[in-house]
A and B are shown apart, each in its own frame.
Chain A
Amino acid sequence: MNAAALIVFAVCLVLVAALGIASGRWGRGDLATVEEWGLAGRRFGTLLSWFLIGGDFYTAYTLIAVPALVFGVGASGFFALVYTILVYPVVFLVMPRLWRVAKRRNYVTLADFTQGRYGNHWLTLAIAVSGILATVPYIALQLVGIQVAIGALGFTSTAGPLAAAFALLAVWDYSSGLRAPASVALVKDTMVYTFVLVAVIYIPARLGGYAHIFAAAGRALAARPTPGFLILPPGQYLSFATLALGSALAAFLYPHMAASVLSAKSDGVIRRNAVLLPSYTLLLGLIALLGYMAIAAGVQVSNNNNAVPALLLRMLPGWFAGFCFAAIAIGGLVPAAIMAISASSLFTRSIYRRYLRPGLAPAAETAISKRVSLLLKLGALAFVLYGKPAFVINLQLLGSIWILQSFPAIVFGLYRRRWHPLALLAGWIAGMIAGTAMAWSQGIAVLYPLHLFGHTYSAYAAIDALALNLAVALALAPFCRRLARAAGNDETDPLDYEDPLPELAPAKA
């Protein structure tokens, strides 16, 4: 065990824990309301939103898994870079519209929006359930990321530190709601930027430069029993493109991403951040290159996830490696806290209040949300401690397929209401079943070889399932309109979606 690394790691985490607890007092607000607890009162300006969304999107698991994938397979792992480039044009176009209607109608979650837009509680239930199902394994994956960082420090048993991380998350949620991860995100992002910028300058200098790293990685990948590729071969074009596109379309449908966007102060904050957030994408690309550095350095690991920690330990001074691991661990705490908050808001508002306890008072709603958030985190902890890591990863892969199935109801719903809620629900069910079956038939893998017209197209199952989802929704719409004339009540007004907000428009004299 490296004493310097351990001390730096521990000091960073204690400081961050205190900061998260203290942040509950930050900015006036009654933390007993869900809007204050779960969205921090929608008061974040451009800079804070930049830290929060960046801290939420580029998670501990990203910091570990993306370079691990590049280490394992080479070029195809870079779909993550393309995905995090393409996500921002989508955010720029779609999210300000969502923000405006959510602000105007007091929507806290995406399911609140579909309920208001379509007035159909079955569709809302579908959106809420897929959001929760996709989020819980994602929380567990953050704990896996933290576990990797702790394991690299030399702990043989990670149960104790993980339980401590869990307790910290629980205290944050209770004391401060979304304010805790937002303030910690400031520290986390600064640490991750430092870690990556130092690593991508210092390590290549020791390894003999980037040209050498790419050449050595290319040779090593080609010599493997299952060869990897430095340049993407044509057979992987379709899977690369569909993985990038599907992930970019799905990213902001996750409840935690929606929450961090809806906590912005204005729609302009979101548009400006679509311009500024790619700075994190640059960082992600550099992190992915760490995978090649690990190959070039000749790192040997039993599990690819340990490749980057092993590289850092070998190449960097002990105290700085400790700093890097602390950055990764805190990088897991921030999104895990937001995930738990947003998934529990979904449950309380769209399931508990609707089916179990109608007419719940706002203060009671927050109290229930906090308890549910605790349960979700306990579930995630149990997953990690008692389940197999492969199981958690599989669930998260399935979750990425499931979450994209809410795209038609939410994104198309933001533009026009020609879509019938029952047709959308039928499409959602078809997409969920088909997507799950496709992944299942491949032993839970996200790529599915589709046989069409004598060719085999290996593509991201979420995209295939989305195509089916849309086809079903379109085909059934006329029947649904005839069968059920009442298409549900749309409480939103076309003006709710446009800028500037009606109440901000200059009053006529």
Chain B
Amino acid sequence: MQVPRSRRRRWHALLALPFVALLWLPLYARATPALWGVPFFYWYQFAWVLGSALITALVYARTRAPRP
């Protein structure tokens, strides 16, 4: 059984999250709160490397066709 297309689309919409989080600069172009002396601007981006990969992993797990 294939995952129905409409449900796949809803999962795919999750992939827009990293775009909003990273292209809307007022969200994170600031120095505080710093983490271990690393300004917010930097550790926020590093956190999104992982965040974006986890979101993609979730979408992958929810949309793949089960193995025959």
Once bound together, how far apart are the Cα atoms of A88 and B23, in whole Å?
15
Report yes or no: B49 in contact with A285, Cβ–Cβ below 8 A.
yes
> Which residues from chain B contact A233 at a C-beta distance below 8 Å?
29
10 contacts between A and B (CB under 8 A): A81-B45, A81-B46, A82-B22, A85-B48, A85-B52, A86-B23, A92-B15, A211-B36, A275-B53, A500-B2
Q: Which of A238-246, A304-312, A329-337 contacts B (4 or more CB under 8 A)?
A: A238-246
Report yes or no: B64 in contact with A268, Cβ–Cβ below 8 A.
yes
Q: Which residues of B contact A (CB under 8 A)?
A: 2, 12, 15-16, 18-19, 22-26, 29-31, 34, 36-39, 41-42, 45-46, 48-50, 52-53, 55-57, 59-60, 64-65, 68
Report yes or no: B15 in contact with A85, Cβ–Cβ below 8 A.
no
Q: A210-B38, A211-B37, A285-B45 are in contact. Are A88 and B65 (CB under 8 A)?
A: no
Report yes or no: B52 in contact with A89, Cβ–Cβ below 8 A.
yes
- Within 8 Å of chain B (Cβ to Cβ): is A230? yes
> Which residues from chain B contact A276 at a C-beta distance below 8 Å?
53
* Beyond A241-B25, A274-B60, A282-B50, 18 extra complex contacts between A and B, CB < 8 Å: A81-B45, A85-B22, A86-B52, A88-B53, A89-B16, A211-B37, A231-B30, A232-B29, A232-B41, A234-B26, A237-B26, A241-B24, A245-B23, A276-B53, A278-B53, A285-B45, A289-B42, A500-B2
Q: How far is the CB of A271 from chain B (nearest CB, A)?
A: 5
Q: How far is the CB of B32 from chain A (nearest CB, A)?
A: 10
Report yes or no: A237 in contact with B45, Cβ–Cβ below 8 A.
no
Task: Give the secondary structure class of A's interface.
Answer: helix
Contacting residues of chain A (267-301) with chain B, CB-CB under 8 angstroms? 268, 271-272, 274-276, 278-279, 281-282, 285, 289
Report yes or no: B56 in contact with A244, Cβ–Cβ below 8 A.
no
> Which residues from chain A contact B23 at a C-beta distance below 8 Å?
82, 86, 241, 244-245
- Within 8 Å of chain B (Cβ to Cβ): is A358? no
> Which residues from chain B contact A241 at a C-beta distance below 8 Å?
23-25
> Which residues from chain B contact A275 at a C-beta distance below 8 Å?
53, 56-57, 60
Q: How far is the CB of A411 from chain B (nearest CB, A)?
A: 15
Q: Which of B16, B31, B37, B49 has the most CB of A within 10 A?
A: B49
**What band does the interface of chain A fall in when counting residues whose beta carbon is under 8 Å from B?**
35 or more
> Which residues from chain B contact A499 at a C-beta distance below 8 Å?
2, 65
Q: A230-B31, A231-B29, A285-B49 are in contact. Are A86 and B18 (CB under 8 A)?
A: yes
Report yes or no: A282 in contact with B29, Cβ–Cβ below 8 A.
no
Which of B12, B22, B50, B52 is in CB contact (< 8 Å) with A88? B52
Once bound together, how far apart are the Cα atoms of A289 and B25, in whole Å?
20
- Can you list the 9 inter-chain pairs with the closest CB atoms, starting with the nearest? A211-B37, A237-B25, A278-B53, A89-B15, A232-B29, A241-B23, A275-B57, A82-B22, A275-B56
Among residues of A, the one whose C-beta sits closest to the C-beta of B53 is A278
Report yes or no: A500 in contact with B42, Cβ–Cβ below 8 A.
no
- Within 8 Å of chain B (Cβ to Cβ): is A198? no
Q: Which of A82, A237, A241, A282 has the most CB of B within 10 A?
A: A82
